[in-house]
Structure 1
Amino acid sequence: MLKRIYNALPRPLKLPYAILIMGPRELKFLTLAILKCKPWVYFDNVTRYSERSLRGMSYWHDMIDWIGGYPFEVAKPEEIFNFYRDRGFRLDQLQTGAGGLGCNQFVFTRVQRKGEWIDG
């Protein structure tokens, strides 16, 4: 829904919308850094983000990609699990975003079926 709204907005309204969406999150991170008496950690993370990111994006462009980037598809963890289980895979590891902004990460292993050879 966020992505649809962002992409439907006229260009002048995209920046205010992005700030409205990401502002509370960024304020939370900055506040936590200040409460820990380490505000430079927040600013260092923002300014040096592209050096550490595997995505090769600046902090700002990564946020805009999260808000408005396509392609994007939503699936519940149980939908992913059922899809792969039905195709002969076993779930070995799962890390969820815990209801936050992060992505869920899955590790599946192909299970050998009777009479079937599995490489690797």
Structure 2
Amino acid sequence: MLKRVLATAAITLNLVSGLALAQKKGDADKGKEVFEQCGVCHNATTDEKKMGPSLKGLYKKPKLANGQKPTDAAILGIINKGKGAMPAFDEVLSADEKADLMAYLKTI
């Protein structure tokens, strides 16, 4: 019973912190600098695929590569947990860097 309560609390805390970050305003100029790490695998200027999908017009796409709509929460989830060959960046990027990156992704 205690394990279930702790697991539920951990999941809830993770979701709430993710939603708070999704609502945080970022700096697109700083996000462009953060994107340099992403640019090794993702294109920002053309639709050409590298190792990962192009992120040009990411927020304008009807669906992400995983089938989800391109919302802040969905994109943050992929950044945090990774997907396929993409590693998780939850422990690599700070909350500010993630907010900045997401602000930049909205401009491309």
Normalization by structure 2: what TM-score?
0.30
Structure with more contact order per residue of length (Cα contacts < 8 Å, sep ≥ 6): 2
Q: Which protein shows a greater Rg?
A: 1
Normalization by structure 1: what TM-score?
0.28
Flag the structure with higher strand content.
Answer: 1
